[in-house]
Amino acid sequence: MPDDSLRSRAWNDNPQARYWWHDLPGNDYIPPIYSDLAETEWITLCEWYDETDRNGPIGECAVPLISLLHGLVMGNRASRIVQLGTCAGYSALLLGWMLRRMNAAHGLFSLDLNPAMCEMSRRWITRAGLENFVEIAEGNSLDAQSPIAAKKYLGGDPELIIVDSSHEYQATLEELDLWYAALAPGALLVLHDVSRFAAEFDVTQQGGVGRAFAEWRKAHPGMESFCLNGDARTMELPRPFYKDACGVGLIHKPL
């Protein structure tokens, strides 16, 4: 386990690919997503990393995206959040701790189709004491009943939706239609993996999230939206200002 006095700085020399952000030039500091954690929370996160380093799965978002979400959630008290794609529970843990700081019960509805990932994430949510703040739901993000279930748990329309699920072109296109309609007016939808590099994550080889996002934007020209690192083709240096080569897209629903 990393020394608590160093926190994430102890990962700066870790050769595993998942720690790439910590190895970038000048990143010898602790980002707020980690420095804000209570000691018990930090220990739990380190234990989560220890387990997933040994046994996987490894597929969590990296520091740039979770830091962006940290600002959106904590800076605006986003207390009704939907996450499509839970994986092993990294972002569910960090978002849950943010919600606990805000005393925003029933604040995150995290949906995943994989029973094993749901079981693992629930175990860590319980271990972190976040059962009152996070719901790990097993289900299909394309099911018309899923937004209804999310609204019921959250107590209202989502203020923030994070799309990080199948990464398939057609599925993402359908998710955008279904979940944009579920957004509260004035709310925000965030898509991970919109870059050309991340298109390879689409097992159907049809262009992935980036193609779906581009076509959805073209079909809805009046919507406020933008993309960071959409043209990124590699994880190698040099990197643009937004350091995640997987890119991120944002859609704002007007009032």
Asked whether the predicted pLDDT for residue 68 surpasses 60, the reply is: yes
Among 27-31, 35-39, 41-45, 236-240, whose mean pLDDT is lowest? 236-240
List the one residue out of 166, 157, 110, 164 whose CA is nearest residue 138: 110
How does pLDDT run across 158-192, given as a tens digit for each residue? 999 999 999 999 999 999 999 999 999 999 999 99
pLDDT value for 200: 97
Structural domains of the chain sorted by starting position, each given as residue range(s) with its CATH number in brackets:
59-252 (3.40.50.150)
End-to-end CA distance of the chain: 46
Question: DSSP secondary-structure letter at 104?
Answer: -
Give all strands of the β-sheet with 224-228 in edge-to-edge order.
Answer: 134-138, 108-112, 81-84, 160-163, 188-192, 248-252, 224-228
pLDDT at residue 207 tops 80: yes
Q: pLDDT-based confidence at 222, cuts 50/70/90?
A: confident
**pLDDT value of position 116:** 97
**And the tokens for 134?**
């996070």
pLDDT of residue 237: 81
3 confidence band (pLDDT: 50, 70, 90): low
